[in-house]
């Protein structure tokens, strides 16, 4: 009896994904070059007779039902190409390879074209939700051949997270669309993480909140309109005691403040620049990880400059304003990311349906949030919505929270507390909602020094002035 599904790469994600497939009634076969990983999987899943694994690529391929469905959960980059090459001598026309990693989207296009010539179907399918998601139900973002998707659809729908019974997976579009959507998902993820960390800083510095108090605050918020995976885990992080340290305080206080990154957030920003779509809340989140890395310089600079004495705010009031500012900034960050997706869809002919994307993000993924239900409704009402800020579903939510955002940004600026994500979100909002910006002056300067010409408000045409 051959197996329904194959998976290459038996790290934590791969092993968990395979066990999830087996839990859902499909048989699954794993492959890894590391015999220990193969043995571990056989031991863990073997009792069900639905899971098997081999270090031999040939045995692995021959064990699979045709058309073979082979998912790769290996690190992005050259390894993906190497695995594809190792599969090619053994697989047949019509077989399906699915790259489940965070591959850069142009790599996916290159691989898709290469495999298309060999009549092999290739999917780039972002998988979000971490190790737990892979085991219990991730959000999956597949892009590739629509007809081949029918073969993987039943398995993906079964293993994915469910939002009120609806699977958090859908065919998103051709070629690299799935990887692109996952990339922007991660850009939004960077933005939301940065915003959460700023609010944590603000509560501590301007309100003297203890970790316990912030744990309560974030759990309370998570029960309201800010309900989201990242707010939920923040609350849990804030109550975690430190087992290792001498003072047995909170673990979060002992963690080095240098954030690492693997590139997806940076790619989102870089590609937004290529498209000409502003995503400043994501850009600044990438920059902040970079600034965080300059720890030694920061320590040096901290000694050179004085910081104002922080004027404390009333705890209750601060908590209320911070909730509003975080909600406002979350909305702005999703708005920017979705704006980028809508534009990329045209540029790369992905034909994306933003409603579907918002829907499959409602559960399973890292950016899952109550807000995504509202967002999917806004796009359902107007599928060509250029920006969430233009949706009648969001006007009141934004209007009622921008006031507190302004107050907190002003207070933080006056008191030397950096709120780059929140203030960038506010600035984006103020600029996006201004019918007149001062960029007329920039056009005048360009024409002044470089005869770059300008257009006029009152007359059609291209103008140039001899300024001097």
Applying CB under 6 A, the residues found at the interface with ligand 6PG are: 102, 128-130, 186, 189, 260-262, 264-265, 365-366
Which residue has the closest beta carbon to ligand 6PG? Answer: 128
Catalytic residue among 69, 182, 359, 397: 182
Min dist. Cβ of residue 190 to ligand 6PG (A): 7
Instruction: Find the helix packing angle between 295-304 and 280-293, rounded to 10°.
Output: 90
Beta strands in 75-165 (DSSP E): 96-99, 121-128, 139-143, 162-163
Catalytic residue among 112, 189, 323, 324: 189
Please say which residue, 95 or 189, places its beta carbon nearer to ligand 6PG.
Answer: 189
Please say which residue, 217 or 271, places its beta carbon nearer to ligand 6PG.
Answer: 271
Please say which residue, 139 or 329, places its beta carbon nearer to ligand 6PG.
Answer: 139
Please say which residue, 67 or 77, places its beta carbon nearer to ligand 6PG.
Answer: 77
Asked if 318 and 203 count as a contact pair (C-beta separation under 8 A), the reply is yes
Please say which residue, 257 or 396, places its beta carbon nearer to ligand 6PG.
Answer: 257
Please say which residue, 232 or 323, places its beta carbon nearer to ligand 6PG.
Answer: 232
Asked if 299 and 386 count as a contact pair (C-beta separation under 8 A), the reply is no
Asked if 239 and 217 count as a contact pair (C-beta separation under 8 A), the reply is no
Please confirm, yes or no, whether 50 is among the known catalytic residues.
no
Asked if 226 and 323 count as a contact pair (C-beta separation under 8 A), the reply is yes
Please confirm, yes or no, whether 182 is among the known catalytic residues.
yes
Q: Check residue 307 and report its DSSP letter.
A: -
- Number of alpha carbons in the 13 Å side-chain half-sphere of residue 5: 28
Please say which residue, 188 or 352, places its beta carbon nearer to ligand 6PG.
Answer: 188
Nearest in space to 110 (alpha carbons), one of 151, 87, 78: 78
Alpha helices in 160-228 (DSSP H): 177-207, 211-222
Helix (H) / strand (E) element for 301: namely helix 295-304
Q: How far is CA 19 from the centre of its chain?
A: 25
**Distances in Å between the alpha carbon of 451 and those of 23, 340, 444, 464?**
67, 32, 9, 6
Integer-rounded Cα Rg, in Å, for the chain is: 25
- Tokens of residue 178, six digits: 């799935």
How far apart CA 181 and CA 458 sit, in angstroms, is 41
How far apart CA 143 and CA 17 sit, in angstroms, is 19
Min dist. Cβ of residue 247 to ligand 6PG (A): 29
Reduced to 3 states, what is the DSSP secondary structure of residue 52? strand
Reduced to 3 states, what is the DSSP secondary structure of residue 255? coil
Min dist. Cβ of residue 83 to ligand 6PG (A): 18
Reduced to 3 states, what is the DSSP secondary structure of residue 276? coil
Please say which residue, 102 or 391, places its beta carbon nearer to ligand 6PG.
Answer: 102
Min dist. Cβ of residue 288 to ligand 6PG (A): 12
Min dist. Cβ of residue 361 to ligand 6PG (A): 10
Burial of 192 from C-beta contacts in 10 A (0-12 / 13-18 / 19+): buried
Please say which residue, 180 or 209, places its beta carbon nearer to ligand 6PG.
Answer: 180
Reduced to 3 states, what is the DSSP secondary structure of residue 142? strand
How far apart CA 232 and CA 239 sit, in angstroms, is 12
**Distances in Å between the alpha carbon of 305 and those of 57, 204, 235?**
60, 21, 33
Min dist. Cβ of residue 129 to ligand 6PG (A): 5
Min dist. Cβ of residue 372 to ligand 6PG (A): 14
Min dist. Cβ of residue 232 to ligand 6PG (A): 15
Min dist. Cβ of residue 163 to ligand 6PG (A): 16
In what order do the strands lie in the sheet containing 121-128?
51-54, 28-31, 5-8, 69-72, 96-99, 121-128, 139-143
Which residue numbers are catalytic? 182, 189
């Amino acid at each position: 009896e051959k197996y329904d599904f194959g998976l290459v790469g038996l790290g934590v994600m791969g092993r968990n994904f395979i066990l999830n497939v087996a839990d859902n009634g499909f048989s699954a076969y794993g492959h890894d070059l590391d015999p220990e990983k193969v043995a571990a999987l056989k031991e863990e899943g073997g009792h069900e007779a639905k899971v098997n694994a081999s270090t031999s690529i040939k045995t692995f391929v021959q064990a699979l039902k045709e058309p073979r469905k082979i998912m790769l959960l290996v690190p992005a980059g050259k390894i993906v190409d190497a695995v594809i090459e190792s599969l090619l001598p053994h697989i047949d026309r019509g077989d399906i390879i699915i790259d489940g990693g965070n591959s850069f989207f142009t790599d996916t296009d290159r691989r898709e074209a290469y495999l298309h010539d060999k009549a092999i179907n290739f999917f780039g399918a972002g998988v979000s939700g971490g190790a737990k998601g892979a085991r219990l139900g991730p959000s999956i973002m597949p892009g590739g051949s629509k007809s081949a998707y029918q073969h993987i659809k039943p398995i993906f729908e079964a293993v994915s997270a469910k939002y009120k019974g609806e699977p958090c997976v859908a065919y998103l579009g051709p070629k690299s669309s799935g990887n692109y959507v996952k990339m922007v998902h991660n850009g939004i993820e960077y933005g939301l993480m940065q915003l959460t960390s700023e609010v944590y800083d603000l509560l501590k510095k301007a309100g003297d909140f203890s970790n316990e108090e912030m744990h309560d605050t974030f759990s309370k918020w998570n029960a309201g309109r800010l309900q989201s995976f990242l707010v939920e885990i923040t609350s849990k992080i804030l109550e975690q005691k430190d087992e290792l340290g001498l003072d047995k305080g909170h673990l979060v206080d002992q963690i080095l403040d240098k954030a690492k990154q693997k590139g997806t957030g940076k790619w989102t920003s870089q590609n937004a620049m290529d498209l000409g779509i502003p995503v400043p809340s994501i850009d600044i989140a990438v920059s902040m990880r970079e600034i965080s890395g300059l720890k030694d310089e920061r320590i040096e600079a901290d000694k050179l400059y004085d910081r104002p004495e922080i004027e404390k705010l009333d705890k209750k009031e601060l908590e209320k304003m911070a909730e509003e500012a975080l909600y406002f900034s979350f909305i702005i960050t999703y708005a920017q990311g979705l704006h980028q997706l809508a534009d990329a869809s045209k540029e790369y002919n992905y034909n994306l349906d933003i409603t579907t994307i918002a829907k499959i993000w409602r559960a399973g993924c890292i950016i899952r949030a109550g807000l995504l239900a509202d967002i999917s409704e806004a796009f359902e009402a107007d599928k060509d919505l250029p920006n969430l800020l233009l949706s009648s579903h969001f006007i009141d939510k934004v209007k009622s929270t921008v006031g507190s955002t302004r107050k907190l940004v002003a207070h933080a600026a006056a008191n030397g507390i950096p709120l780059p994500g929140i203030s960038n979100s506010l600035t984006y909002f103020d600029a996006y909602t201004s019918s007149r910006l001062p960029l007329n002056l920039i056009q005048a300067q360009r024409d002044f020094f470089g005869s770059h010409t300008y257009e006029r408000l009152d007359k059609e045409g291209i103008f140039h002035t001899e300024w001097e």
